[in-house]
């Protein structure tokens, strides 16, 4: 019952947004492309200021967090303590003997405390990938834990040699050109010149502060899919568009990229959930 | 035979380069991380489907390009080198017939999938309509 209510709430919001956009479009038939882009950005800004449907997932996540025994999970601040957890991740965990970011840690804890096998964890984490209007419990857990760090500043401890090593590896992978189309992350996310995909302006690692703004709002609610996008799903989608093989969530590659991105974003205030087109 | 008409800078396979020339390039590599470690972490992050693992092999021109933070920061000399390397990989059609079946090429251009593939959520068959990045409708 509760799920039906939540789903209809999301649909309602999405429909309202779509209607608003349609009326804006209908009024301005003879606009230049630049004007249209400006209007879409205005719509996004209004959505950003108003209610964010991503918060519904946080409510769901609060229940799922208990359901999967994650209150035993230590995010680096003590068992079950989620306030400020995202701000200090990725970090080195002595119990797993690995550097882990938030989602990898959740996956590890699901194996330890919820009795899942690695295959089950992967299926659980990717249940909403490639879909839209999907209410996933995994997305909900990530959203709940992330939102508990709202207002805190990203503070990855790069003095730790293990984290620093992952940071350097992530940096090299960021600039590694691979695949049949010669892509690297820097193809789109580097340089002083502005790069766009359609109307969306892409952040650049070379323009100061932009990496932080991009990273600190994840998981991010996407209006066009009517569901949130977690960081690992973002990596997977980027790599699909780069014509690389299918990305594996909770892998060392994801941790290395997270270490590089969150390490670069040090000092930025976390504002979860973000909202995007 | 006609399908060999792919003229592009997409190079697959290794082309030799003398080590002396490579040393001149300013490397961005940090001390302490070996290339093998990076490679290992990279390989761990993908599904081990042998159909697609060839995509992770880096060729020489890709290796040169990987050393610079962005294309704006790439010196003209390195760009020249990459152009030379990739010119060698262009395969011209045999028998001197340059004009292939343009309808085959049009199919490639029109395809929205464009070589993208992921094992989650996407049908194997490419969609008939292009123009959207939404997985649910494509």
Residue A224: which CATH number? 1.10.760.10
For residues B2-11, give the mean pLDDT.
Answer: 38
How does pLDDT run across B23-34, given as a tens digit for each residue? 333 444 445 788
* Residue among A89, A186, A271 nearest B62 (CA): A186
Identify the weakest region by mean pLDDT among A69-73, A151-155, B1-5: B1-5
* Residue among A209, A103, A207 nearest A153 (CA): A209
Sequence-ordered alpha helix ranges (H) in chain B: 19-24, 35-44, 60-65, 76-88, 102-110
Q: 190-229 in A: which are within 8 Å (CB) of B?
A: 190-193, 205-206, 224-225
For residues B27-48, give the mean pLDDT.
Answer: 81
* Co-location of A190 and A94 in the same domain: yes
pLDDT at A169: 94
Whether the upstream peptide bond of residue A273 has omega within 30° of 0, thus cis, is yes
Percent over 70 (pLDDT), chain A? 86
CA atoms within 13 A on the CB side of B50: 0
pLDDT at A30: 55
Cβ pairs A/B, distance under 8 A: 139
Whether the CB-CB separation of B97 and A92 falls below 8 Å is answered with no
* Co-location of A81 and A105 in the same domain: yes
User: Dihedral, CA atoms, A92, A95, A101, A102, nearest 10 degrees?
Assistant: -140
Q: Which residues of chain A are within 8 Å of residue B114 when distances are taken between CB atoms?
A: 243
For residues A223-252, give the mean pLDDT.
Answer: 91
pLDDT at B136: 39
Instruction: Name the average pLDDT for chain A.
Output: 85
Joined together, the tokens standing for residue A188 give: 């789109």
Domain total of chain A: 2
* Residue among A239, A101, A35 nearest B115 (CA): A239
CA–CA dist A149, A99 (Å, integer):
20
Whether A264 has a pLDDT exceeding 90, the answer reads: yes
CA–CA dist A74, A95 (Å, integer):
10
Whether A185 has a pLDDT exceeding 70, the answer reads: yes
Using the CB atoms, write b or e for B77-99: b if 16+ within 10 Å: ebeebbeebbeeeeeebeeeeee
* Co-location of A148 and A253 in the same domain: yes
Whether A135 has a pLDDT exceeding 50, the answer reads: yes
Task: Go through chain A and tell me how many residues it has.
Answer: 277
* Residue among A220, A51, A224 nearest A146 (CA): A220
* Co-location of A73 and A163 in the same domain: yes
pTM of the model: 0.78
Closest chain A residue to the Cα of B8, Cα to Cα = A181
Closest chain A residue to the Cα of B27, Cα to Cα = A172
* Co-location of A91 and A17 in the same domain: no
* Co-location of A26 and A90 in the same domain: no
Within 8 A by CB and 6+ apart from A54, the residues are A143, A219, A220, A221, A228, A272, A273, A274, A275
For residues B97-112, give the mean pLDDT.
Answer: 74
Which helix (H) or strand (E) is A34 found in, with range? Answer: helix A33-49
Within 8 A by CB and 6+ apart from A165, the residues are A99, B32, B33, B37
pLDDT at B45: 92
Residue A63 or residue B29, greater confidence: A63
* Co-location of A208 and A91 in the same domain: yes
CA distances in angstroms from B113 to A122, A171, B119, B122, B131, listed in the order given: 25, 29, 13, 10, 10
Within 8 A by CB and 6+ apart from A194, the residues are A201, A202, A204
* Co-location of A27 and A69 in the same domain: no
How does pLDDT run across A26-38, given as a tens digit for each residue? 333 456 777 767 7
Q: Does A129 touch chain B (CB under 8 A)?
A: yes
Residue A277 or residue A62, greater confidence: A62
pLDDT at B123: 60
CA–CA dist A235, A173 (Å, integer):
12
Q: Does A238 touch chain B (CB under 8 A)?
A: no
Q: 44-73 in B: which are within 8 Å (CB) of A?
A: 44-47, 49, 52-53, 55-56, 58, 61-63, 65-73
Instruction: Name the average pLDDT for chain B.
Output: 70
* Co-location of A86 and A207 in the same domain: yes
Whether B138 has a pLDDT exceeding 50, the answer reads: no
Edge-first strand order for the sheet with A227-229 is: A227-229, A220-222, A274-276
For residues A47-62, give the mean pLDDT.
Answer: 84
Task: Tell me the residue range of the domain where A70 lies.
Answer: 54-276
For residues A245-255, give the mean pLDDT.
Answer: 94
For residues A106-113, give the mean pLDDT.
Answer: 95
Nearest to B69 among A182, A206, A256 (CB): A206
How does pLDDT run across A141-160, given as a tens digit for each residue? 999 999 999 999 999 999 99
Q: 68-97 in B: which are within 8 Å (CB) of A?
A: 68-73
* Co-location of A138 and A213 in the same domain: yes
Whether residue A238 lies in the annotated active site: yes
Whether the upstream peptide bond of residue A204 has omega within 30° of 0, thus cis, is no
Q: How confident is the model at residue B81 (pLDDT cuts 50, 70, 90)?
A: very high
* Co-location of A85 and A203 in the same domain: yes
Give the gap in angstroms from C-alpha B64 to the nearest C-alpha of chain A. Answer: 9
pLDDT at A50: 73
Whether A253 sits inside 8 A of B9 (CB atoms) is no
* Co-location of A18 and A92 in the same domain: no
């Amino acid at each position: 019952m509760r799920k039906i209510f939540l789903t209809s709430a999301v649909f309602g919001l999405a429909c309202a947004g779509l209607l608003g956009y349609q009326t804006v479009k209908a009024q301005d038939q003879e606009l230049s492309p630049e004007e249209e882009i400006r209007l879409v950005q205005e719509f996004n800004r209004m959505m950003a200021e108003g209610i964010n449907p991503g918060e519904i997932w946080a409510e769901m996540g609060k229940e799922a967090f208990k359901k999967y025994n994650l209150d035993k999970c230590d995010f680096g601040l003590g068992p079950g303590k989620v306030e400020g957890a995202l701000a200090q991740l990725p970090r080195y965990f002595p119990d797993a003997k690995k550097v882990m970011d938030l989602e990898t840690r959740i996956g590890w804890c699901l194996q330890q405390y919820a009795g899942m096998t690695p295959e089950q964890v992967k299926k659980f984490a990717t249940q909403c990938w490639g879909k839209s209007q999907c209410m996933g419990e995994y997305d909900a857990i990530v959203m709940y834990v992330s939102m508990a760090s709202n207002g805190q500043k990203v503070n990855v401890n790069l003095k730790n040699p293990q984290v620093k090593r992952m940071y350097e590896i992530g940096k090299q992978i960021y600039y590694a050109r691979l695949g049949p189309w010669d892509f690297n992350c820097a193809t789109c996310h580097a340089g002083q010149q502005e790069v766009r995909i359609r109307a969306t302006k892409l952040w650049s690692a070379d323009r100061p502060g932009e990496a932080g703004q991009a990273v600190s709002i994840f998981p991010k609610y996407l209006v066009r899919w009517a569901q949130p996008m977690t960081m690992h799903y973002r990596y997977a989608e980027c790599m699909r568009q780069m014509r690389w093989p299918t990305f594996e969530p909770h892998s060392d590659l994801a941790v290395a990229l997270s270490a590089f991105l969150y390490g670069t974003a040090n000092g930025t205030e976390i504002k979860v959930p973000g909202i995007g087109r | 035979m006609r399908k060999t008409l792919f003229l592009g800078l997409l190079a697959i396979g290794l082309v030799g380069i003398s080590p002396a020339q490579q040393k001149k390039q300013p490397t961005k590599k940090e001390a302490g991380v070996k290339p093998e470690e990076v490679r290992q972490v990279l390989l761990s992050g993908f599904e081990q489907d042998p159909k697609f693992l060839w995509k992770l092999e880096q060729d020489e021109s890709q290796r040169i390009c990987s050393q610079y933070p962005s294309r704006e920061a790439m010196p003209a000399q390195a760009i020249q080198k990459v152009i030379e390397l990739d010119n060698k990989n262009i395969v011209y059609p045999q028998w001197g017939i340059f004009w292939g079946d343009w309808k085959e090429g049009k199919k490639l251009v029109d395809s929205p999938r464009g070589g993208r593939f992921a094992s989650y959520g996407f049908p194997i068959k490419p969609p008939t309509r292009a123009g959207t990045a939404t997985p649910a409708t494509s």
